[in-house]
Amino acid sequence: MSTFQTALSGLQAASTDLQVMGNNIANANTVGFKSSNAQFADSYAAAIAGTSPQYGQVGIGTSVATVAQQFSQGNIESTSNPLDVAINGSGFFQFNYNGATVYGRNGQFQLDQNGYIVDAAGGQLIGTPAVSGVLTGGSGPLQITTTTLAPKATTSGTLGLNLNASSTPISSGTTFNINDPTSYNYSTTATVYDSLGTSHLLTTYYALTSGSTDGQKWNVYYSVDGTTSSGSGITSGGPLTIQFTSTGAISGTASGTIGPLSWADGASGSTIALNFAGSTNYNATSVVNSLTTDGSSVGQLSNLSIDPSGVVFGRYTNGQSAKLGLITLTNFKAPQGLQRLGNNYFVPTYASGQPLTGQPGGGGLGVLQSSAVEQSNVDLSSQLVNLIVAQQAYQANAQTIKTQNQVVQTLLSL
């Protein structure tokens, strides 16, 4: 009767194989899904009486030794959602799901009504939160709460410009006046901000005072919102003098401080440090080549982005950005030992080892690709081929039972 047992074990093994492949095929379009394959082992063999063990062993079938999970990389597909994230390499996202810590590779994320980054099942993505743009170093669910970015007063500016060496010097004794174009040779404007985020127009004026074989000297004046500050110079006690060499380069340093400035809207007083490093004095049209200032108005959150190292940035309407958190990844010494939980989640077991968490790109962990998801790693072509093989194995074992049954019927009819 062992033939029946042998064939039944083959049927059971082939049935399990079909079930595993059916599950793979069913999840071929499941984002982050990892395929499995049934691995078989022969059952113990009984020795035929009177024979040596190496010659007289008869197998009594097969069994499913394990259903092994395959964590090979799936194809990465771009999406239009900036919160979608694909892991390119090793590692798992960590989630808080109904109070339990679970892991997965599905990076289809969105914000819930409380600002938490969650997946479709409601699991909260765990990482390193940020406070005021600084990563805290702790661990917890990532929540986007900084929807408004506070304004920042302008405190510095750098101008790189060319002042035309062929300009006519301003007549000696001419008093600077912002309304008198003959009292200066060139002017340029920049937007600056006070502590409440109100914008103001800063205008700097450049007047050639003298020229010699040693290089030209220029005075720099300023006005804010069209009003000349007391003293009218960029520094207290008089205008800043920019000295050029005979080759048109800055001689020494060229910097100064505007202020203190008082604002009508009740904002804190300001001082603005200006630096003209890199400016030139060539025989060419006066022009601003570069202009940078710090400071910004109030900003509203307009977009989110995630860099390859997992940092979540908020992009704001004032052109500024801020760190809002860090997505961490977790890996295991033996990922095949993880237990499936459903919803694309895994939980660790003794066989998988303890979770090892770190920043993407470090410690053997993969990097992140935003606006993308990792597709299932199921190879449909090979699954369909293997499906036919498993079907044939099932049919062959069924035929074994049928044949053995015919043998038994023959014996019974004697």
Question: E strand or H helix at 17, and its extent?
Answer: helix 2-26
Let me know: does 319 contact 191? Beta carbons within 8 Å.
no
pTM for this model (two decimals): 0.77
Burial label for 85, CB within 10 Å (0-12, 13-18, 19+), is buried
The DSSP letter of residue 248 is S
d(CA 369, CA 92): 14
Q: Does domain 156-293 correspond to CATH entry 2.60.98.20?
A: yes
Cα angle, residue 257 at apex, residues 252 and 258 outer, rounded to 5°: 140
Give the three-class secondary structure for 34.
coil
pLDDT of residue 236: 32
d(CA 20, CA 16): 6
From residue 94, how far is each of 91, 106, 136, 249, 357 by CA, in Å? 10, 10, 18, 56, 9
Task: Single out the residue of 202, 187, 93, 209 nearest to residue 154, CA to CA.
Answer: 202
What are the structure tokens assigned to 385, written together? 């081929």
Contacts with 174 (C-beta within 8 Å, 6 or more apart), sequence order: 182, 183
pLDDT of residue 104: 96
Domain assignments of the chain as residue spans, ordered by start: 2-72+377-412, 79-149+301-374, 156-293
pLDDT of residue 229: 46
DSSP string for 323-357 = EEEEE-EEE-S-GGGPEEEETTEEE--TTT---EE
d(CA 401, CA 258): 97
pLDDT of residue 132: 84
Task: Single out the residue of 193, 110, 109, 121 nearest to residue 157, CA to CA.
Answer: 193
Task: Single out the residue of 133, 135, 55, 125 nearest to residue 95, CA to CA.
Answer: 125
pLDDT of residue 228: 56
Per-residue pLDDT of the chain (414 residues; tens, 9 = 90+): 577 677 777 778 778 888 888 899 999 999 999 999 988 787 766 655 555 555 556 667 787 788 889 999 999 999 999 999 999 999 999 999 999 999 999 999 999 999 999 999 999 999 999 988 889 888 999 999 888 999 999 999 999 999 999 999 998 888 888 888 999 999 999 999 999 999 999 899 999 987 777 899 999 988 888 765 443 434 333 588 899 999 999 998 888 888 788 887 788 988 999 999 989 999 999 999 999 999 999 999 999 999 999 999 999 999 999 999 999 999 999 999 999 999 999 999 999 999 999 999 998 999 999 999 999 999 998 888 888 887 787 787 677 777 766 776 776 776
